[in-house]
Amino acid sequence: MIKFLKKFFTVFTVICSLVSQTRAQIAVNINDTAKQQIFRYNKVVYFEDTHSSLTLNQVKAPSFKFKTNKEATPATHNPGSAWWYRISIGNNPQSVNRWIIEFFDQTIDSITVYAPDKMGNYQATLLGSSQPFTARLYHHKNFSLNISNNFTGLHYYYVRIKSHQPVNVIMVLRSVNWFISYALDEYFFFGIFYGMILVFGLYNLMMFIAMRQRQYLYYIAYNLSIGLYEMCADGIAYQYIWPGSPIWNHNAYGIALFSASIFSLLFAQSLLNVKVNAPRLNKLIIGMLAFRGLFFVLCLTINENWFQYKIIELIPLSLAYFTGCYVLIKGYRAARFFVIGYTFLVAGFITKALIALNLWWFPVTAANYYSLSFCFILEMVFISFAIGDKVRILKKKEELAQLRIINQLRLNEELKDALNRNLEALVKERTRELEEKTVLVAEQNEQLTTVNILLKQQTEEISRMNVLLENDNTSLHHDIERVTHDRVMSAEVDFEEFSRIYPDNETCFKFLAELKWEKGYACRKCVNDHYGHGHFPYSRRCSKCGYEESVIAYTILQNTRIPINKAFYMIFLMYSTKGKISSHKLSEILSIRQSTCWAYSSRIKKVMESRKKEIKNAGDKGWSRLVVEG
């Protein structure tokens, strides 16, 4: 038992020593046989300075504790902190190569590298996208600096990184010869990549000029936006487009991604004919365009650091991809190459997102670092196939439509010939029938002519008789009116018969207006003789001063409250009886209160007394002389 415990303790001690050795920082030795060496896992130790207050002397103190890096690719996670990294390099003065340290991520704002010299002192070198491009030792998209290799032994190099967004800290020890060779190859492939973007853009521009379809403009704008984003991410844009404006490095990629999202959705909407093939998804795409535009405005106006949330582009990308799949399932064949192209793009975007979020479980190499660029090239190729496929399908449909039109025209021609033959036969038959009927019609016309002559003679006789009858009717009508008027004007006529001549207010007002202004109109205010119609029936308004005079003003009917036709009849009765009829009799005849009849009859008597001479020989019109006051 004791021997077993001794053996177990020995094995445990060996395991602990091995674990401690694996957790200790491993140095990277300069070796001419290795062109490059990447700092991964325990080759790098780090410390997060949350207050950004540590100095180099504090960090390189023996008591300072760095943390062991457990990630294949070190990365900063909190943009508000400063991140310190320490690497160990074994110098080799016998090396025939010159060596540099290169940083891959071109979006890092500030990199301060503290490199040792022979005397044990540290020299600080400032790098990063916030520094002018012309300040770089090598005019290359990546950040790089020479290291001194004229002394031996292991030496620590300290790196302080500060950036407004999470970044990958990919550090590589390279020989200058390999760096130049690698850079030339890299820029060659960049030339091919961006050249393809321009070629695809020019091709689609020519297609737009030829076909005048907006989808080509959307795709050109989408390609250029992706190209701008890739240039921002690779550092090419800073090198060639705005080398003297580092501030553009912070926001240019966000503008490019926004433009790419907008134009990718517009292109998918147009290419897939979503408005017809998927109306609900079309509304969702419109809503996504509004949401993405709002987020972009908020980033510009509220907090520019929100541009770092590139993962949000997965939402419009997924919507475009889902729309393509949905439309393809619904039978729209033009979407097949679109779906294949976007499958590569989604794969590349997910890979890039996992690397950016430090969730990529493999070491970051050039292949997966540029995976999005490679997938974008494949997407461009397949999208071009999709555009061509849509044109081919449209052309095929157009050819089928033209073939159907030709067949229909041929059938129409055959039908027209058959109809013409039938019509010719019918015309001949109809002509024969008409010729037969023409003779019959001629005979009937002769008979009708004779009848028409007789009818004309009868018509003339009837017209003569109608004229005589009309003259007789006119005379009879005048005789009836005269007899009726004489009957009404007699003292024995009752109210019903009187009302036949003055049946309503309109008739009474008309009679009163003719009686009142029979000698012409003169304004009582300004004696003007021109007038217009007033607001009340048959009233007159002076055209000069605007004074309006109603038809009952300055008459015996002014201010009376009894119906005007009854008032007329009361005047008539008073006149015909020479004022001898009593108010009780008037009340009985007119169905008006006795007191009202007495008051109004008294008023009439006074007028009659004052106009005795005027109405003495007036005859049956004398009662109307009582209406208008003098």
Where does the pLDDT of residue 11 fall: very low under 50, low under 70, confident under 90, or very high at 90 and above? very low
Looking at residue 22, its pLDDT comes to 39
Looking at residue 18, its pLDDT comes to 33
Where does the pLDDT of residue 87 fall: very low under 50, low under 70, confident under 90, or very high at 90 and above? very high
Looking at residue 21, its pLDDT comes to 35
Helix (H), strand (E) at residue 146: strand 143-146
Tokens of 315: 């939402």
Q: Residue 50: how many CA atoms within 13 Å on its side-chain side?
A: 0
Looking at residue 2, its pLDDT comes to 41
Looking at residue 565, its pLDDT comes to 79
Task: Give the tens place of pLDDT for each residue, 376-411.
Answer: 778 778 877 777 777 777 677 777 888 888 888 888
Looking at residue 118, its pLDDT comes to 81
Percentage of the chain lying above the pLDDT 90 cut: 10
pTM comes to 0.55
Average pLDDT over residues 261-274: 86
Average pLDDT over residues 45-62: 91
Average pLDDT over residues 62-83: 87
The torsion angles phi and psi of 393, rounded to 5 degrees, stand at -65, -40
Residue 363 scores a pLDDT above 60: no
**Average pLDDT taken over every residue of the chain:** 81
**Helices 176-211 and 371-489, axial angle in degrees (round to 10):** 30
Q: What is the 3-state secondary structure (H, E, C) of 335-397?
A: HHHHHHHHHHHHHHHHHHHHHHCCCCCCCCCHHHHCHHHHHHHHHHHHHHHHHHHHHHHHHHH
Top-confidence residue, 247 or 542: 542
Top-confidence residue, 531 or 364: 531
CB contact at 8 A, 595 and 587: no
Task: Give the tens place of pLDDT for each residue, 202-235.
Answer: 888 888 887 788 888 888 888 888 888 888 888 8
Where does the pLDDT of residue 475 fall: very low under 50, low under 70, confident under 90, or very high at 90 and above? low
CB contact at 8 A, 388 and 204: no
CB contact at 8 A, 345 and 317: yes
Residue 7 scores a pLDDT above 50: no
Instruction: Using the CB atoms, write b or e for 507-517: b if 16+ within 10 Å.
Output: ebbebbbeebb
Residue 590 scores a pLDDT above 90: no
Residue 591's CB: how many other CB atoms inside 10 A? 8
Cross-strand bridge partners of residue 532: 541
Looking at residue 23, its pLDDT comes to 52
Looking at residue 584, its pLDDT comes to 85
The region of weakest confidence among 279-288, 308-317, 347-356, 523-532 is 347-356
Average pLDDT over residues 28-34: 86
Looking at residue 8, its pLDDT comes to 41
